[in-house]
Structure 1
Amino acid sequence: MLSFIGLTWALSSNAFLVMGDMPYTPIDALNLAPKGVLGSKINTTEHAFLLHVGDIKSGAEPCTNELLTKNKQLLSALTTQPFIYTPGDNEWTDCDRANLTPRYDELERLVFLKSLMYDRAYLEKAKQLEQFKRQASMAENARWQFAGVEFITLHIAGTHNGRRQILHSDKQLAYQQADARDANNLQWLAQANPTAKGYVIAFQADIYTHQTDQPACSAALQQACDGFKVYRDAIREFASTVKKPVLVIHGDTGPYCQQSLANNLTRLNVPGDYMVSDIAKVALAQQNATVTWQISSLKSGKPLEQQCR
């Protein structure tokens, strides 16, 4: 459990906002409107950037160009500050579900999604962030500095990062792309700045709730495997090696909660997923040479106390 006793919190300018798994419902859309409860809170809350960890639509809705474009426009208009996005499964890997009409090749949807989300306006805003960079081999992955902390986004989507429920695409090609994502993600994490005071690693999938007892997926083992094990192992090793505070942020499952995974490793499951129409505010603070964070609800202003099970 995080302890905040004795800490002097930084000003709100040392805060950022993070959301995921929305808009899912008409209520989400109303809340995110300029005069909605969340839209108005964003406008009156100082923040350096707004981070969305994926799933910009409900999995029950078809992945049409029109819906993805409409929700992208809604989300990118929420703030005048940089808006950072990392892909979720609902907008590409789940677009081939049998109950959706129309159904899509998920790999084709990923190509469209990246061209839609990472346009010129997105990049112009993102480049306002200190030392903002994109990965050359997988441009949806980004990193930047804020208040001495390095932020790293990784493309890790649900369905075990596109390794399961491949219903409308060439499976071997999907497996090859999943292998490439794994290699790129692990390389991007390994390139973290060693001088940072702490690290925030953000992606969509809940790699902890959805863990299995199966071995890790690889190019040699594509089925009956855990597509998230390689990331749980890598993040645990990363935190052990850097010996600095590490905050993992994800969405994908319902609970809005935090959990201590090790002395210097914490995970935050952001609000969303139709159950909690809210946004998390994360304020960075420093005590001596140590950085830490205070997580609270944007809607209520109350600190997050719920622990992940």
Structure 2
Amino acid sequence: MSTTPIKTLLLAAACAAAFSRIAPAAPPEHHSAPGYGKFEFALIGDVPYAPADFWKFDNVIRKINADHRLKWVLHTGDIKNGSTLCSDEVFKDRLRRFQRFRIPFILTPGDNEWTDCHRANNGSYLPLERLARLRELFYPIPGLTLGQKPMTVETQADDPAHAEFVENMRWMKQHVMFATVHIVGSNNGLAPFAGRTPADDAEVARRIDAARAWIRETFTKAEEERARGVLVAFQANPGFELAEGSAERKGFEEILAELETEAVNFKKPVVFAHGDSHYFRVDKPMKGSVSKRRIENATRVENFGADDVHWVRVVVDPKSPEVFSIHQEIVEKNLEQH
């Protein structure tokens, strides 16, 4: 996908209107799949949670900006904790911090920044209003990421049937496919709250349908372009290990079934990257719903988050049978007590 100088200027204008002191946008990168070279990117999520940890997040930003091997930063959502305000001021603060990354920055939303904003200590916001504001601020131009050097990507918003889903993105690099899908905690937005309306229920149903469609299209395109691997990122821990029908899997069942079908049919390495549980791990939790056997080509990566403010290095080697290798990056300064 190409972009024009006008589109780049529009990004700068949209961001400048949202907040001040943003770093100026550089010309966007163009990512396609011409070769099979090795590359790396940074995976983060559930940060920054509160002002007390801003200094830790600053250290993460410095570490990532100093590493010239990294191609982009992928954030799996939850840009604040679940007990703090969902105000525009907080959103703009996080946006300013994310714009300090010198490389493309990709964000998939978390529940803390919209579905849970009805809580009194969050400001008693209407979740759907916060979702609309989140999209306006963090996805000002569909198809262009954040970061000081934005990257052009595909977006589901290009499909008139899913025009609001600017946050669902997809891109290919070196014959490896990447996608973000808007799947959040609090039972994917189904958790009850005082004042919940039919519109809130309808939003969940529509977002699940959009997520399933985006997942199917992503794997179809991966097959068509002979991708060596696929990585799908989302915020929620969907309960891979839990039994079907479990209360904790409510809101995720249809999506988990879609992910299972596509991973099994794809046969090549698949990574599901998410946050939510604040527990760094790399494992293979997915079992076939019929076979009950481990799906060996599907790997889950959960990033650090909340009190553990570190990052994950993902090395991608299309020539390797595993394609993806995961490395924890502990920021030593963040182990200190302040």
TM-score over 0.5 for the pair: yes
1:34-45 to structure 2, matched below 5 A, reads: 36=59, 38-45=60-67
The alpha carbon displacement at 1:16 in A equals 0.6
Name the counterpart of 1:279. 311
Distance (whole Å) between structure 1 residues aligned to residue 324 and residue 122 of structure 2? 43
Name the counterpart of 2:272. 248
Is 2:43 the counterpart of 1:15? Answer: no
The alpha carbon displacement at 1:101 in A equals 5.2
Equivalent residue for 1:106, pick from 127, 145, 157: 127
Letter in 2 for 1:281: R
Deviations 1:250-290 (CA, angstroms, capped at 9, x unpaired): 0011210011132100001110022x1111110012446x3
1:24-43 to structure 2, matched below 5 A, reads: 24-33=49-58, 36=59, 38-43=60-65
Equivalent residue pairs, number: 275
Name the counterpart of 2:239. 208
Letter in 1 for 2:97: L
Letter in 1 for 2:229: G
The alpha carbon displacement at 1:121 in A equals 10
* 8 A Cα contact 2:139 2:145, kept in partner: no
Distance (whole Å) between structure 1 residues aligned to residue 244 and residue 190 of structure 2? 16
Letter in 1 for 2:200: A
Name the counterpart of 2:108. 86
* 8 A Cα contact 1:107 1:169, kept in partner: no
Tell me: CA distance 1:179–1:80, structure 2 relative to 1, closer, same or farther (3 Å): same
* Gapped regions of structure 2 (runs ≥ 5): 1-35, 287-294, 333-338
* 8 A Cα contact 1:205 1:250, kept in partner: yes
Equivalent residue for 2:140, pick from 101, 105, 119: 119
Tell me: CA distance 1:122–1:60, structure 2 relative to 1, closer, same or farther (3 Å): farther
Distance (whole Å) between structure 2 residues aligned to residue 176 and residue 210 of structure 1? 28
* 8 A Cα contact 1:147 1:284, kept in partner: no
* 8 A Cα contact 1:106 1:169, kept in partner: no
Stretch moving more, 19-28 or 195-204: 19-28
Is 2:186 the counterpart of 1:159? Answer: yes
Letter in 1 for 2:175: G
The CA RMSD measured in Å over matched residues stands at 2.6
Letter in 2 for 1:88: G
Is 2:297 the counterpart of 1:264? Answer: yes
The alpha carbon displacement at 1:68 in A equals 1.3
Letter in 2 for 1:199: V
Name the counterpart of 1:6. none
Name the counterpart of 1:219. none
Distance (whole Å) between structure 2 residues aligned to residue 106 and residue 135 of structure 1? 21
Equivalent residue for 2:228, pick from 186, 194, 197: 197
* 8 A Cα contact 1:129 1:146, kept in partner: no
Tell me: CA distance 1:214–1:124, structure 2 relative to 1, closer, same or farther (3 Å): closer
1:180-191 to structure 2, matched below 5 A, reads: 180-191=206-217
The alpha carbon displacement at 1:122 in A equals 8.4
* 8 A Cα contact 2:74 2:107, kept in partner: yes
* SS in structure 2 at match of 1:49: strand
Name the counterpart of 1:64. 87
* 8 A Cα contact 1:56 1:72, kept in partner: no
Distance (whole Å) between structure 2 residues aligned to residue 125 and residue 97 of structure 1? 28
* SS in structure 2 at match of 1:39: helix
Letter in 2 for 1:69: K
Distance (whole Å) between structure 2 residues aligned to residue 215 and residue 165 of structure 1? 17
Letter in 1 for 2:193: I
Distance (whole Å) between structure 2 residues aligned to residue 273 and residue 26 of structure 1? 12
Is 2:331 the counterpart of 1:296? Answer: no
* 8 A Cα contact 1:19 1:51, kept in partner: yes
Letter in 2 for 1:181: R
Percent of counterpart pairs with the same letter? 30
Tell me: CA distance 1:156–1:291, structure 2 relative to 1, closer, same or farther (3 Å): same
Name the counterpart of 1:50. 73
More helix by share: 2
* SS in structure 2 at match of 1:205: coil
Tell me: CA distance 1:71–1:164, structure 2 relative to 1, closer, same or farther (3 Å): same
* 8 A Cα contact 1:129 1:145, kept in partner: no
Distance (whole Å) between structure 1 residues aligned to residue 122 and residue 169 of structure 2? 33
- Please give the TM-score of this superposition, normalised by the length of structure 1: 0.82
The alpha carbon displacement at 1:225 in A equals 7.4
